């Protein structure tokens, strides 16, 4: 019964209003476009973008989106639905593991903590690959951790290999790298002793390779090594050099986890504080203690790996959400059991970060209301023009942020007064409610500021036999939102589409339209073959003469 209740609550949290806002460039639209092109071409074996081979990602998540689109149509809701379903599976998995490791109460708290933290919750409403990838690799490591303790270790090893293979098919060889590093670190932490037998490690490797061979093997057999080789080269470049301008300092992901995983991250900090005090540990079984070690290992391996990797993108550290939430749940369980008390600085930090987040939400309507006063003080011409979008805000919407600040303060007062359970429930449930309010009320408005004019422009070309291309910036939106169809593009267009040379200067066979951002528009306004057809909210529109 509890499984059904958790599934229903998770479905209500993650599924409604998935299509209320357009997909965001790049990642969301990138994957959705690949799924759309699979459906349009009927080619489900190769990932394509603009109907050309796209080797940056393997196909599993895109297959999931394609299945969803085949059922619900090619739309934003269908593109995000797979992650919502994975979100339901994730909370059910947490409850199941927590019930097995400690008890039902712990399982429920683990699920609540994950759903009640900002980025972990929000990502299940997105169309990016990472929530699905994270789930598969977490389950793979869970089954690996059970090999030592299960009466059926062979079965655990097989399941671990299958899920590791699914993780590779979702995002690529990063899954192998994380798994191998986690195993090595676990071995070192256990003083070079490990209870997993060589035969079980071989089973994991064999079944992971068999699972990945379902696509990699077929691709090599059907199309040769070229596509797979390009895929491997791209993955190496991603690890070794900053990609697409996404560089950042070493501590980038540390800040992301502290703020993005609030409130759970604060309880992880308190775990650091009490981890050496054995008296506060739960009376866990050997398996539970071992799993705790695996979670610590996974957390540090992912955090340090992606702190070292040159490309810094928020969701790269999202696999940390799983062990972070587990360790936070352990700490909260100890609080509820009275095994330790939160220090004043822990509660104060909850209050400070909660107030900062509440202020950010509460002040957002003021940006919309007083945008004309703010625009002259903004140096970025694109941001200035974005703010000119006609997006209504009201003073009443400040109530969301103010309400969240009040509830966080109330939670902290309860925690100071030793009303631990009430304070924790108030903290995490209020975060869930403000998350839902933010997604429903503010994200669509932010989207209208940031890309609304561009999406509207692209949608105006649906069903028209024309070329549509961005100038001086990279995008997938012109493909997905014009619903571009295959065929009809000359070979020389495909060869030169990155620099648009043929579209701008060649003997084109149908009308060509372009879009660029206002700060990049000067050379295109002066181009002899282009004429400006419009301008809106930071985007300039052109037509080939």
End-to-end CA distance of the chain: 66
- pLDDT of the residue at 346: 92
- pLDDT of the residue at 279: 45
- pLDDT of the residue at 277: 52
The rounded distance, in Å, linking the Cα atoms of 289 and 278 is: 12
Q: Are 318 and 134 in contact (CB under 8 A)?
A: yes
- pLDDT of the residue at 148: 92
- pLDDT of the residue at 468: 95
- pLDDT of the residue at 168: 95
- Dihedral of alpha carbons 218, 222, 228, 231, sign: negative
The rounded distance, in Å, linking the Cα atoms of 355 and 291 is: 34
- Centre a 10 Å sphere on the Cβ of residue 11 and count the other Cβ atoms it contains: 15
Cis peptide before 26 (omega within 30 of 0): yes
The residue with tokens 């805000």 is: 393
With b meaning 16 or more CB within 10 Å and e meaning fewer, what string describes 120-154? bbebbbbbbbbbbbbbbbbbbbbbbbbbbeeeebe
As to burial, measured by CB atoms within 10 angstroms (0-12 exposed, 13-18 middle, 19+ buried), residue 15 is: middle
Report the length, in residues, of the chain. Answer: 545
- Centre a 10 Å sphere on the Cβ of residue 202 and count the other Cβ atoms it contains: 12
- 10-residue averages of pLDDT along the chain (545 residues): 95 96 92 97 92 88 98 98 98 97 95 97 96 98 95 96 97 92 94 87 96 86 71 66 65 94 93 58 72 96 90 90 96 90 92 97 94 90 92 95 98 96 97 95 94 97 94 94 85 63 89 96 96 96 96
């Amino acid at each position: 019964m509890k499984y059904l209740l958790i599934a229903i609550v998770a479905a209500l949290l993650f599924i409604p209003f998935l299509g209320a806002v357009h997909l965001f460039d790049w990642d969301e639209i990138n994957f959705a476009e690949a799924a759309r092109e699979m459906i349009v071409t009927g080619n489900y074996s190769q990932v394509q973008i603009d109907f050309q081979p796209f080797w940056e990602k393997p196909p599993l998540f895109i297959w999931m989106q394609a299945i969803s689109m085949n059922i619900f149509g090619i739309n934003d809701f269908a593109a995000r639905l797979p992650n919502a379903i994975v979100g339901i599976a994730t909370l059910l998995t947490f409850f199941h593991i927590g019930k097995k490791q400690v008890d039902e109460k712990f399982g429920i708290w683990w699920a609540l903590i994950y759903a009640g933290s900002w980025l972990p919750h929000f990502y299940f409403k997105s169309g990016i690959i990472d929530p699905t990838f994270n789930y598969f690799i977490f389950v793979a490591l869970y089954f690996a951790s059970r090999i030592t303790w299960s009466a059926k270790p062979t079965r655990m090893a097989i399941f671990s290999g299958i899920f590791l293979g699914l993780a590779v098919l979702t995002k690529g060889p990063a899954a192998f790298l994380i798994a191998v590093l986690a195993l090595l670190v676990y071995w070192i932490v256990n003083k070079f002793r490990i209870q997993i037998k060589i035969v079980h490690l071989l089973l994991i490797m064999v079944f992971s390779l068999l699972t990945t061979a379902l696509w990699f093997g077929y691709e090599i057999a059907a199309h040769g090594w070229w596509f797979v080789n390009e895929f491997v080269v791209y993955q190496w470049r991603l690890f070794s050099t900053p990609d697409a301008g996404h560089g950042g300092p070493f501590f980038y992901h540390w800040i992301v986890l502290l703020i993005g995983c609030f409130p759970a991250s604060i309880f992880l900090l308190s775990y650091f504080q009490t981890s050496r005090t054995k008296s506060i540990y739960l009376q866990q079984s050997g398996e539970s203690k071992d799993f705790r070690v695996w979670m610590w290992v996974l957390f540090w391996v992912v955090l340090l790996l992606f702190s070292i990797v040159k490309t810094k993108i928020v969701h790269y550290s999202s696999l940390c959400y799983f062990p972070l939430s587990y360790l936070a749940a352990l700490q909260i369980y100890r609080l509820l059991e009275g095994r330790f008390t939160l220090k004043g600085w822990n509660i104060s930090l909850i209050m400070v970060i909660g107030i900062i987040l509440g202020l950010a939400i509460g002040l957002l309507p003021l940006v919309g209301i007083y945008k004309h006063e703010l625009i002259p003080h903004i140096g970025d011409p694109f941001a200035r023009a974005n703010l000119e979008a006609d997006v209504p805000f009201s003073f009443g919407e400040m109530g969301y942020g103010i309400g969240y600040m009040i509830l966080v303060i109330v939670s902290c007062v309860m925690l100071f007064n030793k009303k631990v359970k009430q304070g924790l429930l108030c903290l995490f449930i209020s975060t869930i409610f403000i998350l839902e309010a933010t997604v429903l009320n503010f994200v669509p408005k932010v989207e209208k500021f940031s890309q609304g004019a561009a999406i509207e422009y692209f949608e105006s070309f649906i069903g028209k036999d024309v070329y549509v291309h961005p100038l001086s910036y990279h995008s997938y939106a012109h493909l997905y939102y014009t619903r571009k169809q295959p065929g009809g593009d000359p070979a020389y267009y495909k060869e030169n589409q990155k620099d648009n040379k043929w579209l701008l200067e060649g003997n084109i066979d149908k009308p060509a339209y372009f879009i660029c951002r206002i700060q990049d528009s000067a050379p295109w306004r002066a181009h002899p073959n282009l004429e400006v057809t419009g301008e809106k909210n930071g985007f300039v529109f052109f037509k080939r003469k």
